Structure 1
Amino acid sequence: MTAASTSFGDRLASVFAEFGRLCVGIDPHAHLLREWGLEESGAGTREFGLRVVDAVAGRAGIVKPQVAFFERYGAAGYAALEDVLAAARAAGILVIADAKRGDIGTSVEAYGQAWLTPGSPLEADAMTIAAFQGVGSIAAPMELAEAAGKGLFVLAATSNPEAELIQRALVPVENASGRTVSRAIIDDVKEFNEAQSVHPFGSIGVVLGATLDLARYGIDTRSPAGVNPPPVLAPGFGHQGAKLSEARSIFGSYAPATIVSESRAILSSGPDKLANVVGTRAEQVRAEMGSEIG
């Protein structure tokens, strides 16, 4: 595969400059399908997703379809997801597939090919991925993302309470007291990005929950983020309780690379008000976070 002419970091910076940092989740929960008057089916998720795309187009620059809500309808759900992904990308919206895949060897390579290969039926601009087996285990999709102008967001510090024990656990390192698992993931991602050609941001990002005290996870947001800093996908705003007014203080030196992700707080406004809510929230995010990249 030949290298893409435009990196994911370049495209993300362009989105920030034009639309700001809001990412709208496409999460067709069963209760939202009912509230929107749609069937709990693949057809219902397709209509839901396309309505969100229409509402976002021209108002915000990023969407994040939650793959699980489409998968539960089997082949019909995947067909719906393919249509939603294609419609969003055709509208010029940056698409992050929230797939949270992870494995080793050829299996994780195939996951990357499914979501990141240009022309794939499930082509997205980036995907979420897990590195429980170590960041080295996802080397193949990392390299694919860099070559294809795509992005990855590696789970590093997530807000579910069950994850805290593992993510705050210490990883032994030579002649040192160790780093947390979260910090080790970020360090490995930064090392990969710094080895690539210069972009505004690296192609490989991390997921950091906005409701967390990141210092407890060994993440120092006061220190410089470094060369080619990892983009940060930050769920937790809106319904989960993180306040937009505190976003800069939460993410510190990572704030210029942070994507503000909201789903239910926006989607619960319903299809008739959705476009206005997206536009208003996008402006609020821009006012709080700005559009500068460093």
Structure 2
Amino acid sequence: MPADGASRVLDTTREAFDIKSAGEALRHVASGVTIREADSAFSLHQRTLGDDRLRLTRLRTTGFLHAHVDVSGYVAVGRVASGGVRAVSNDSPLDVSAPFLLTPGSAETWSSTADAEAIGLDLAALGAFSGRDLSSAGRFPHRGALTSDLQDHWEATIAHVSRIFDDETLLRNDLIRQAAVDAVFAATVSTFGIDAETGESTGGSAAVTRATDFIDDHLGEPLSVADIAAAARLSVRGLQSAFQRTLGVTPASYVRAARLVAVNRDLTSADAEAITVAEIARRWGFAHLPRFAQHYRAEFGELPHETLRR
């Protein structure tokens, strides 16, 4: 069974008006936080959403704050919406005018009345997703996006996932949350140049069969690309290559198609007076209903509500 089926869902809001309580609040996001200095006008409002693999934290501060962070067991992408912020990671200054990466080691931030966001990614989960050992800071050669197009894609992904996390029903749907976390992992890996060839075999039809059998057996559970790759005995990159070469689709597209078939089966047998299309779609991990309807019609030649009525 995929390990993330038991992931702890997080939805917490904290406020602080002094150094001690602010430190306690921030350590719920990053355990190694120490507040070095804050002025008398300081206050903090913090909301964290996500699970054990990914934590999206929105921060709003007033007054001045200087904090030191021992970054261990995770990496984080920060972005500043407004206010005065300066940051360094492992003694290297960061460009805070765009999304920036905090890598394992040490970091410091200085802020003055700011609105910001921190997206924390569990290092072990990100390593499993990328197929790399990410235990050293040397694995992260870039602190900013490689290109403006990649940055735009990352921003769009975070905006989409934020909307999902803001909806409590979607946040607590294991299948939808799993797909959202994988989307952030994929965007972060490509945007900040974390991914690289591993030299592993890209696998063949036997590996793809192991993967598809695993998908079919766990279709109603949260399925990460890393889970599927592990079942196929491949890296994530090797899995993607094997699927494209053997089936002509990505693993994610295969999962979506299989779940569309499951939705069709449920719609066909359901009582239209007792259940809605949205309930069945979300049961199978589809969060964006208009996009789901487009995929469904492309696959079955009719809209899902037509299947349900019929």
TM-score for both structures, normalised by structure 1: 0.29
Q: Which has the higher Rg, Structure 1 or Structure 2?
A: 2
Higher strand proportion (structure 1 or 2): 2
Q: Normalising by structure 2, what TM-score?
A: 0.28
Ranked by relative contact order (alpha carbons within 8 Å, sequence separation 6 or more), the top structure is 1
